[in-house]
Chain A
Amino acid sequence: MILNAIKIALKVLARRKFFTFISLFGTSFTLIVLVVVAALLDIFIRPGGPERNMPRMLGLYQCVMKSEGGNSTWSGSPGYRFLSRHVKTMQSPEKITIFSSHNTVSIYEGTDKYNIGLRHTDATYWEVLDFRFIEGVPFDAHHEQQASQVAVINQQTKERFFGSGSALGETIEIDGQTFEVIGVVENVPATNRSAYADVWVPIPTKKNRDYLDAMMGGFNALLLARSRSDFPAIKREYAAVLQQIDWPDPHGDFEMLGGVDTPLEVMARKFFNETEEGEVSTGVLTAVMSLAALIFMLLPSMNLTNINLSRIMERASEIGIRKSFGANSRHLVLQFVIENLVLTAIAGLIGFLGAYVILWSITQSDLFAYATFSPNFRVFAAGLLLILVFGTMSGVYPAWKMARMHPVYALKGGQS
């Protein structure tokens, strides 16, 4: 019975091309959008590449500095002085790294000019983030202390300047400084907001020493926890740190606000513009996103319900016929629900393929350098499940209405 219903459903769908197209279009389109959006969100929340340990990390990307009475407010990335004196000394995280924001600098080779992404980092950076070294090694604490002019470069930079051979021992000229290449890493996806760059050099090689006194600006920190269960303790310690800042003279009374965040919390902080809060809650953001997704998912099921209801009259005589030959209401509901499910399953397949193609195109494009987007199976499965649930619901009501039709009335085509 079920197998036959599936077979018949496929045959009917093949015959009713316009109806099939309309139904498939709505459902597939919804799934595609859902999966693509989720994949984009996902890669920021759980990035791969060197940031694959992100689930164990808290990021410090933003803080707010206020003068007494709130007359002046600076908000933006924290400064090196603040990070090195107050954050780096925190006890609860396993490791803490300080690194500069991504800066684009130009490298001249003869008359040719190349733009590269440069980062100044500490030595711990290489322990917190999980770079894949193709050759050489990262710089270490010794290099950092000595302000050694050494650099780690990515594969693309290596190929551009040094061709296919080894780059170790070669030098690269950046902004009038000469760095010796000691390591080459695989290209980093642009979606890794802390790891992405082309060239990495030790912080103390910065020519301008002003950063040493800056409380705000230019740097970020990542705090690697032993496990996620340490997050509350780390957040508490950071809050305590903010209360005991040793402000450089002649600044007088200032306060520092903000918190350390997971990627989702970063998003929630931006979404609700809660730059000054110590902790932000992600519950509302998650709820809002889920609700949006749910409402979005309701569209194709309403579409299906609508189409199904309007087809009742068209199918009245079929119902009358089936009832005359022994179909009971259960048979008919089952048949119509299966038809809906078959339709939904096909739409799911198309939706998944569509999402796959779109994500593949984004990967191929230069939108996010080196980033690979792939459909998230969990989101797809959840989306498909929802559509199946809605598909069933959208099928059940019309089916139930159809199945209850009086056989004689139905045979007359639904008109008495």
Chain B
Amino acid sequence: MIPAPFEYVKVASVDEALSALAEHGEDAKLLAGGHSLLPIMKLRLAIPSALIDISGIADLSYVRVEGDGADAIVAIGAGTRHYELERDEVARAEVPMLPHVAGRVGDPQVRHRGTIGGTTAHSDPASDLPTALLALGGTVVLQGPGGRREVPVTEFWTGFFETAMSPDEMVVELRVPRTGSTGWGYEKFTRRENDWPIVAAAAVGSRGGGAGGPLRVALANMAGTVLRATATEEALAGGASIAEAAELADQGTSPGADMHADADYRRHLARLLTRRALETAAGAA
């Protein structure tokens, strides 16, 4: 339960982080909240040569609205901790699903350490915030030696612990369309309150489209990445009832099996949680 030896560098800015990444090469890892990285290092499943600690970068933690009206975007700094997001007044008003979901991540200790950039970069298919982000739509802002670029969330998570980010880049910001009073629902299924989701479903939007866009559903832990329940979304767009559409939620998924749930039960949960999340979203709209 002690990590293998590593070098440790603490940086004060994104530029410093990027040059440290360039200097230490592919075996180096950024360290944000450490709540995904350190556990796997202690189990020696990850043995990075160097840790570049970005938790001291002051201007990476913020939530602000950019633009207004239907095009308004909520920009969240990659260093924003889950508990900061959970309590943020702007986030609560402009994109209420995110602070709610942030408050459902792990336990208070985890929420006080973990960051939205870290959970995004880590690409664990069972993670909560990426599920919500995927349902909300928007982009992941990356910065690298070549400058900044934006990747749509629908293209960012490419596989189990894999993303569209290259090793010399880092996540600096998440950009999410403002949803305001649009309906949403988040259903996280766990055996214990503090657990990772066995399956989770996020639903947001409204039937008519409108300000928050059409109904979208994202699922956690149903494949190698978080993913959208596209068959459900299409059925809804085609006028199916919530109950009918939810029955299609597990189409296109490839859930795994573990001691908590086998694949069939996960599929059942995906359908059930999708229905409930959609019902909540519809009720609140």
Q: Do A and B come from one complex?
A: no
